[in-house]
Chains A and B, each alone.
Chain A
Amino acid sequence: GAGVSQSPRYKVAKRGQDVALRCDPISGHVSLFWYQQALGQGPEFLTYFQNEAQLDKSGLPSDRFFAERPEGSVSTLKIQRTQQEDSAVYLCASSLALREGRDEQFFGPGTRLTVL
């Protein structure tokens, strides 16, 4: 079956440009997470949604970062006025949001953002 998909896979932006990264979660998955993975580092949490509600955005590094999931399915991570330090792979993950038992987060392939 279809997994988590992300687009674009690669994005090059000039410093100061705005970018939008899209995530299509697995159908029926309630929770959606965004992580940032810098080169040689593990993923770091940015924000997550349960359906359309953004439950935690404590990991967003600045107010230039904004995420939405208006219909509880597809999500978009927007970065305004990109800076070189925003260069990273942005990973999206989704899960069923089970209260009991194993609840796995399934990851997409990521969007590699390079800011020149």
Chain B
Amino acid sequence: QKEVEQDPGPLSVPEGAIVSLNCTYSNSAFQYFMWYRQYSRKGPELLMYTYSSGNKEDGRFTAQVDKSSKYISLFIRDSQPSDSATYLCAMSAWNGNTPLVFGKGTRLSVIA
């Protein structure tokens, strides 16, 4: 079993839909949780960064962390075709200056 599990999809939704992406993990030492977006043939770019449990909102994006269940989620409201990309969850035990453990990534397509 991998440390971080993520359904690879693909996930296809109509424009304007609410998208829910999630990851589970097994290492209880993880405290920092991130969501990266990766467009085809590009490097990952950071979307959301959360420390410990709780919710964080940034525009149309909301990240949730439930450490008791070892479960994290990313919600995208009013999805747009430009949101079509692969979404990677990532986590680490220490702040930034340590290697990240990534999920497999979920490929999302938002259809106009």
Query: Chain A residues in contact with chain B, CB under 8 A?
Result: 4, 30-31, 33, 35, 40-45, 48, 50, 56, 59, 91, 93, 95-110, 112
Contacts and interface: CB of A to CB of B under 8 A. Distances in A.
A56 B44 CA distance: 22
A43 B49 CA distance: 17
Main secondary structure of the interface of B (DSSP, over half): loop
Nearest to A59: B99
A107 B45 contact: yes
14 contacts: A42-B102, A42-B103, A43-B88, A48-B99, A50-B97, A95-B96, A95-B97, A97-B97, A100-B95, A102-B96, A105-B46, A107-B43, A108-B43, A112-B41
Nearest to B42: A109
Main secondary structure of the interface of A (DSSP, over half): loop
A103 B88 contact: no
A42 to B, nearest CB: 3
B110 interface: no
B83 to A, nearest CB: 19
A10 to B, nearest CB: 10
A106 B49 CA distance: 13
Nearest to B88: A42
A91 B97 CA distance: 16
B45 A41 contact: no
Contacts of A101: 95
Contact of B97 (A4, A98, A110): A98
A40 B96 contact: no
Contacts of A40: 8, 104-105
Contact of A97 (B4, B8, B96, B102): B96
B44 A103 contact: no
Interface string B85-96: 000101000011
B13 interface: no
B96 A104 contact: yes
B105 A110 contact: no
B53 interface: no
CB-based closest 8 A-B pairs: A103-B96, A42-B102, A107-B43, A45-B99, A97-B97, A109-B43, A107-B44, A42-B104
